[in-house]
Structure 1
Amino acid sequence: MNEDRIELLPPGTALAWGYTAAPRRGPKPAYTVAQIVDAAVAQADAEGYQALSMPAIAKRLGITANALYRYLRSKEELLVLVAEAGWGLPPESLPGDWRPAVAAWAHAQLDRCRRHPWLVELPVRGGPTTPNMLRWLEVFLEAMSGTGLDEDDVLGCVLLVDGWVRSTAALLRDVRPSAPETLNEFLQPLLREHGYPRVAALLSDADYGENGMQDADVEFGLDRILDGIEALIEQRRR
């Protein structure tokens, strides 16, 4: 593909697939794109998504922000490559049946989000176009290949499960344990006075909010999604 056509691709796509433009005249570059992406991942791991700025990454590398643009055309291109590196490759093998396979796929993505909490803050501007992200999709499609669902149904399923991963990862990152006794002491009289009897009863449970998000909370949501996909498979078969 010629240079003009490459320009039309989504940001970061060509670089992710190993395409690099013809070398420019001047001194040999001090870094590779891969090294810059590694520095950006380290920056985000250390300081979060908000620290993913071109000046901050340039400082980490010991170069100017302007020099960084010799390697990358925009911050958007950087974010695509950082997502590619952060998500990495999916598991090499999954269980044979679709349900445990999809559950394993979802948990593998959730593990990546635990390792890199900033992943859920990266903007999503369309379908995947880079090797690792497309491999995640390929693995999901393979897991669902024997269900009888058509392509539109399977794409709907992957969006549903991916949405669960991102929302659950954000909750696991943000929800913190509370002090239920203190909370109850403050809220109970207010709730009963203002007409929240059911909420008052719920908060009176000694375990409410005590431990933050638990494994059972995580599995409950995923199981309900898988139940829904299973019902869809049965519906399509009928």
Structure 2
Amino acid sequence: MSEPDLDDLPRGVALAWGIAASPQRGPKREMSVERIVEAAVELADAEGLSAVSMAAVASRLGYTPMSLYRYVSAKDDLILLMQESALGAPGPIEGDGWRERAAAFHGALLAAYLAHPWCVEIRITGVSPTPNSAAWMDAGIQVFDGTPLDDDSRLSLTLMLTGSAFWTATVVTGMSGRAVETGSDVDAVGHESDDLLARLVTADEYPSLHRAIAAGVLASGSDPFAFALDRILDGIAAHLDALAAGTDVPPHPGPVPEAAEVIADKKVREARKKVREAEKLLRAAHREERAVLREARERAARDHGKG
């Protein structure tokens, strides 16, 4: 197998893999890509991702922004390297069987996100082509060693577990940030939004949600993220059972849909769009109805007072 051509790698990716050329000249005092990234991570941990700029990092280090550009030529490259450093590489993912390993993988990645909450603010544009990102994917694929799943299925499940950890971290960090802003705690933030929802959701417009709220789902104290992860793992277990029984096969990309199927799918989407539009109009009509009834009651009360 021939060696891959690495000459045209993006600068940030090359820096992450340690194969980018170092600057020929630079500040007289000690400076390195590693020190720049470390300072940027410290800044993001303290003040959030929005506080990170080449100028702010340079100031933190006591240099000019132009000095940093000799090492990291673009802010996007710096963000890539910050994420690579903050999430790090996974430690050993251990457990008795794939299910325990999958839960451990999910927990390890969630902990990494929560340790550096700003990581969830980074825009996802694809798989990050960096060493630690590759290490997390490699660990996720290994979770399913000993199962009949092929590599395509294993990578798909790794992405699903990664997405679950990312979403959980996004919600937790968002609520934690709100708690800091308001000087309260996460429970208080949750109760505040729950109370507003309970006051605004009506049985006419949102019957299912209203029924659930009336049944006490907002005050149940259950952990929706733990429940969701368990159901994900249950689904994988069911798929493995079906494979063992010969009643299922690993998913693979199917054939290109026939023209008739494409047309039918388009018609379904258009029909669903019309349903959503009709539901929107119905909600507006309900609001108008309530306003008219309220106005009528107020008018009747005024007339009664005059009489």
Query: What TM-score comes out, normalization by structure 2 length?
Result: 0.66
Residue 230 of structure 1 corresponds to 237
Residue 200 of structure 2 corresponds to 187
1:96–1:143 CA contact under 8 A, matched in 2:
no
Quick one: structure 1 residues 217 and 11, their matched pair in 2 at CA, closer, same or farther if it must change by over 3 Å? Answer: farther
Residue 97 of structure 1 corresponds to 97
2:194–2:218 CA contact under 8 A, matched in 1:
no
- Higher helix residue share: 2
User: Which ranges in structure 2 are unaligned for 5 or more consecutive residues?
Assistant: 176-188, 247-307
Quick one: structure 1 residues 184 and 105, their matched pair in 2 at CA, closer, same or farther if it must change by over 3 Å? Answer: closer
2:86 matches 1:83: no
Aligned 1:64-79 pairs, distance under 5 A:
64-79=64-79
Quick one: structure 1 residues 201 and 174, their matched pair in 2 at CA, closer, same or farther if it must change by over 3 Å? Answer: same
What is the deviation of 1:204?
A: 3.3
2:221 matches 1:221: no
Quick one: structure 1 residues 112 and 180, their matched pair in 2 at CA, closer, same or farther if it must change by over 3 Å? Answer: closer
2:239 matches 1:196: no
Aligned length: 228
User: Which ranges in structure 1 are unaligned for 5 or more consecutive residues?
Assistant: none
Higher relative contact order (CA 8 A, sep 6+): 1
What is the deviation of 1:7?
A: 4.7
1:94–1:104 CA contact under 8 A, matched in 2:
yes
Aligned letter for 1:219?
A: A
Quick one: structure 1 residues 10 and 103, their matched pair in 2 at CA, closer, same or farther if it must change by over 3 Å? Answer: farther
What is the deviation of 1:20?
A: 3.9
Alpha-carbon RMSD: 2.6
**In structure 1, how many angstroms separate the alpha carbons of the residues matched to 2:193 and 2:20?**
56
Deviation per CA, 1:153-174: give whole Å up to 9, x if none. 1111111111111111111122
Quick one: structure 1 residues 187 and 52, their matched pair in 2 at CA, closer, same or farther if it must change by over 3 Å? Answer: same
Decide which structure has the larger Cα Rg and report it.
Answer: 2
Query: What TM-score comes out, normalization by structure 1 length?
Result: 0.83
Identity of counterpart residues, as a percentage?
A: 37
Quick one: structure 1 residues 33 and 187, their matched pair in 2 at CA, closer, same or farther if it must change by over 3 Å? Answer: same
2:26–2:67 CA contact under 8 A, matched in 1:
no
1:101–1:143 CA contact under 8 A, matched in 2:
yes
Q: Which range moves more in the overlay, 14-23 or 62-71?
A: 14-23
What is the deviation of 1:28?
A: 4.0
Quick one: structure 1 residues 28 and 202, their matched pair in 2 at CA, closer, same or farther if it must change by over 3 Å? Answer: same
2:59 matches 1:59: yes
What is the deviation of 1:92?
A: 2.1
